[in-house]
Chains A and B, each alone.
Chain A
Amino acid sequence: MEWQEVVVRLFKNKISLIGLILIIFFGVIAIGAPWIAPPSDPSEPYMVPRAGWGFEPQPPSSEHIFGTAEGQYDIFYGIIWGTRTAFRIGFIIVGISSFIGILVGTLAGYYGGWFDEVVMRITDIFMAIPFLIAAIVMTTILGQGLRNVMIALITFGWMNSARLMRSQVLSIKEEEFVIAADALGAGDFRIIFKHVILNTIFPLVIEASMRMGSMVITASTLSFLGIGAPEGYADWGQMISFARNWILGGEGNAIKYWFTVVIPGGAITLFCLSWNLIGDAFRDILDPKLQ
């Protein structure tokens, strides 16, 4: 299927249209962040401003539309600038780990033999370690910070695409057009990049789109556990971790501090939802049997 047709169908499918609209919405927020929520200190726009030094979260008011979290961090500001953080985390992690996965999977599948065997066993070793634990350990070793979270998630996030790519390459390697290219004297490099990868890339795109959501969730989980973004950094996971002490509310009103959980949680959920919707619609288009 030509990619133009895929794009047209993505726009026609209601489910993926909702996903696309959501992503565009988040994209506009991310790009427009300096205008939607002007930073008080332009040199450090990602640090969430504090409206005081009180401990207790304050409910939404005209000054702070979404209220403030523990320590008077402005939730609205955190959400808006956190959108940029989420996009950055998602694109960098998924981009680099997909690239590694595609490269490893293609080479292993294309050359086969002992090379394939060694590479796939290494992949198995990486897959044997529980993902979240591995990410926590690696981040702790490297030190707190978003950059280290990204390094850890890339290190343990490329295996699925490598395996997927390898199985794709294995099945397409024997196709006539690859053999024909080989017979015409095309080099390995040309065959891999012009024929093999271009014809096997779509399942990887689906997988990458789905992984976008799960990686942002994992990154925010690490922030939630306190080993991701430094305190005060605009990050959705961290906004939620501020809420941990306030879940039970107070003074006979248990959901008094709902805004500290629901608003950042809603942002993460919608963000992941949009990528998952697109990935799912993609799969329907490419593999109608699965519907």
Chain B
Amino acid sequence: MSRVLAIIGWSVPTFVFGLIMLMIFYGTLGWFPPSRLDSWALDIVNSTGFINYTNFFIIDGLLNANFAIVGNAIRHLIAPVITISILWWAFIMRITRSSMLEILRRDYIRTARAKGVTENVVVYKHAVRNALIPVVTVAGRMVLGLLGGLVITETIFNIKGLGQFMAQAAQQLDYPAVLGGTLYFGFLLIVINLCVDVSYAIIDPRIRLE
């Protein structure tokens, strides 16, 4: 089942999914509007009483103790976040599942059960931690995939972000912008790989970087 879901998730193009999300959740239900904030919220954000500490609307809203802004910003985030990440949900589920199945067959799991360790401890302490290694690897790749997905998702949901910027720069042949953006993506790639490597060591202390 997880497998079929994963394959279907891979097969739906991001832009089709995004448009359908907009149609249903904004057009019909009016729940998750596009762009970053509603116009009334933008008026508050741009007014003098509201201090833009970071320009992250959620953080600024919290710092200004204006929770209407926070709620509004989150509402605007839900649809794009689901659109970018949905392809990966089923995929990660699948990787975790196959990795768990493999780990649960290992000798030390049998040993732990034979010792009389409770099932919860066996699963959560002995199995899950070891099963997480391939999941983390995939999660690292996923972050990169998300960066690619940004281009489309931001275009559809009208969010002025890195992806939309890059897409426009690329179409206008704005070489410095494209090169800078690519360099930045490359930098992110290195940081993410570093995070993945460090988290290996956290999950499994036997792994040491030489």
Residues of A within 8 A of B (CB): 15, 128-133, 136-137, 140-141, 213-214, 217, 220-221, 224-227, 240, 243-244, 247-249, 254-255, 258, 261-262, 265, 268-270, 272-273, 276-277, 280, 289-291
Contact = CB atoms under 8 A, between A and B. Distances in A.
Contact of A136 (B23, B28, B167, B185): B167
Nearest to B102: A289
A280 B27 contact: no
Given A130-B147, A225-B167, A217 B13 contact: yes
A221 B152 contact: yes
Nearest to B14: A221
A272 B15 CA distance: 14
Contacts, number: 110
B11 A213 contact: yes
Question: Which applies to chain B's interface (DSSP): helix, strand, loop or mixed?
Answer: helix
A136 B171 contact: yes
B171 A140 contact: yes
A130 B27 contact: no
Given A140-B171, A140-B173, A268-B13, A280 B3 contact: yes
Nearest to A266: B16
A290 B101 CA distance: 10
Given A243-B19, A244-B19, A255-B24, A269 B4 contact: no
B182 interface: yes
B60 to A, nearest CB: 29
Contacts of B181: 133
A261 B7 contact: no
B108 to A, nearest CB: 19
A240 B170 contact: no
Contact of A247 (B10, B12, B23): B23
Interface of B: 3-4, 7-8, 10-16, 19-20, 22-24, 26-28, 98, 102, 147-148, 151-152, 155, 166-167, 170-173, 178, 181-182, 185-186, 189
A128 B189 contact: yes
A30 to B, nearest CB: 18
B189 A276 contact: no
A132 B150 CA distance: 10
Contact of B27 (A140, A249, A290): A249
Contact of B23 (A254, A269, A290, A291): A254
Given A132-B152, A137-B170, 6 more contacts: A133-B166, A221-B15, A249-B23, A261-B19, A269-B11, A276-B11
B151 A132 contact: yes
Contacts of A243: 19
Given A140-B171, A141-B173, A280-B3, A133 B27 contact: no
A210 to B, nearest CB: 8
B7 A247 contact: no
A221 B20 CA distance: 15
Contacts of B167: 133, 136, 225
B148 A132 contact: yes
A244 B186 CA distance: 31
Given A129-B182, A258-B23, A265-B20, A272 B11 contact: yes
A240 B15 contact: yes
A254 B16 contact: no
Contacts of B28: 254-255
B183 to A, nearest CB: 10
B27, B28, B167 — which one has the most chain A CB atoms within 10 A of its CB?
A: B27
4 shortest A-B CB distances, which residue pairs? A254-B27, A265-B16, A136-B170, A273-B11
A248 B27 contact: yes
A239 B15 CA distance: 12
B23 A133 contact: no
B105 to A, nearest CB: 11
Nearest to B178: A137
Given A133-B166, A280-B7, A269 B173 contact: no
A221 B13 contact: yes
A140 B7 contact: no
A6 to B, nearest CB: 19
A115 B170 CA distance: 33
Contacts of A269: 8, 11-13, 16
A140 B98 CA distance: 42
Contacts of B14: 221
